[in-house]
Amino acid sequence: MPELPEVETIKNELVPHIVGRRVTGVTLCWEGVVRKPSVEEFRSRLIGKTITGLSRRGKYLIFSLSSGEALIIHLKMTGSLLLKPASAEPDKFDRAIVYLDGETELHFRDPRKFGAMWLVNDVNSVVAKLGPEPLDENFSPQVLLERLAKRKAPVKALLFDQNFIAGIGNMYADETLYDARIHPLRSGASLSQEEVERLHHSIQEVLLAAIGNKGASVDTYFRPGGELGTAHFEFRVAHGLGGKLCQRCGTPIERILVRNRGTYFCPKCQPQN
């Protein structure tokens, strides 16, 4: 699933190609991709508008429009946004195609169909509940400490809870906890101030490194030009590295389930007590 580094990469690489472009048409290959408003309204309110900006909030992409409205896209499990030249052949997994002036098309490809689009007046009607942005300058160790206090849930589950902190999913939660040497089942409230500071540092380090590598191309993630990211080559535990040896201490990486998510960690570097 695309997480913050993948969505940030997509945003960064789309901006030079789509900001300032006008929407000249929309094809919905699968109408279920539109959550709000009705399909007819979605088309009529989007066509003719110019994209004035593109930003990211958590794992959501927010396209600002000249009408004051916003097109919001969530890629969920398997979505990608691909830039193609005019009249490109649709892929069998394309769910929507947005045609832009300047001979560009934006194809929303999504094999598993969990992805979604909204056209809204108020962005907060979709993203209001999200937790803080982990790379925002206001996200300090103190903010993280306050959010963890009183939380009995496993820290791994808190990290992938979008209302606790936005943008982190299963892969980067595992990488972050390995980097911070914190066991995934430790409760949020049990972390010492020093551990929280380490965790805060690791969250930012891991996400920034992955953005630097243009995201992780596990499963179906592609960058807008169709290229792959390379962040997964630097994974130390995440995404199926169970049984591999810990790079720090040589202990086999273990797999457990945390809230039903496959979770990888080093039992020696990340002790439970």
Contact with Zn ion (CB under 5 A) among 86, 149, 189, 249: 249
Q: Site residues for Zn ion, window 11-70 (CB under 5 A)?
A: none
Question: Which residue stretch of 40-48, 71-79, 162-170, 260-268 sits at the interface with Zn ion (rule: CB under 5 A)?
Answer: 260-268
Catalytic residue among 11, 76, 261, 268: 261
In sequence order, the 6+-apart residues with CB closer than 8 A to the CB of 173 are: 156, 159, 160, 184, 263
Question: Which residue stretch of 60-68, 123-131, 224-232, 265-273 sits at the interface with Zn ion (rule: CB under 5 A)?
Answer: 265-273
CB of 197 to Zn ion, least distance (A): 21
How much helix, strand and coil, in percent to the nearest 5, is found in the chain? 30, 25, 45
Q: What is the full DSSP assignment across 16-78?
A: HHHTTPBEEEEEESSGGGEEES-HHHHHHHHTTPBEEEEEEETTEEEEEETTS-EEEEE-TTT
Catalytic residue among 56, 59, 84, 156: 59
**Taking Cα atoms as reference points, which of 130, 116, 160, 110 lies closest to residue 263?**
160
CB of 3 closer than 8 Å to CB of 172: yes
Q: What is the full DSSP assignment across 120-168?
A: ES-THHHHTT----TTSTT--HHHHHHHHTT--SBHHHHHT-TTTSSS-
Under the binding rule (CB under 5 A), the answer on residue 268 touching Zn ion is yes
Number of residues lying near Zn ion (CB under 5 A): 7
Under the binding rule (CB under 5 A), the answer on residue 237 touching Zn ion is no
Contact with Zn ion (CB under 5 A) among 146, 248, 259, 271: 248
Under the binding rule (CB under 5 A), the answer on residue 211 touching Zn ion is no
Under the binding rule (CB under 5 A), the answer on residue 245 touching Zn ion is no
- Active site (annotated) includes residue 184: no
Under the binding rule (CB under 5 A), the answer on residue 271 touching Zn ion is no
CB of 250 to Zn ion, least distance (A): 7
Under the binding rule (CB under 5 A), the answer on residue 266 touching Zn ion is yes
- Active site (annotated) includes residue 261: yes
In sequence order, the 6+-apart residues with CB closer than 8 A to the CB of 238 are: 170, 171, 172, 174, 175, 178, 232, 264
CB of 210 to Zn ion, least distance (A): 21
- Active site (annotated) includes residue 2: yes
Under the binding rule (CB under 5 A), the answer on residue 246 touching Zn ion is yes
CB of 74 closer than 8 Å to CB of 140: no
Under the binding rule (CB under 5 A), the answer on residue 189 touching Zn ion is no
Question: Which residue stretch of 53-61, 70-78, 95-103, 248-256 sits at the interface with Zn ion (rule: CB under 5 A)?
Answer: 248-256
Q: How many Cβ atoms are within 10 Å of 21's Cβ, its own excluded?
A: 18
Q: Residue 152 carries which side chain, given as an amino acid letter?
A: K
CB of 26 to Zn ion, least distance (A): 50
Contacts with Zn ion, residue ranges (CB under 5 A): 246, 248-249, 251, 266, 268-269
Query: Which active-site residues does the annotation give?
Result: 2-3, 59, 261
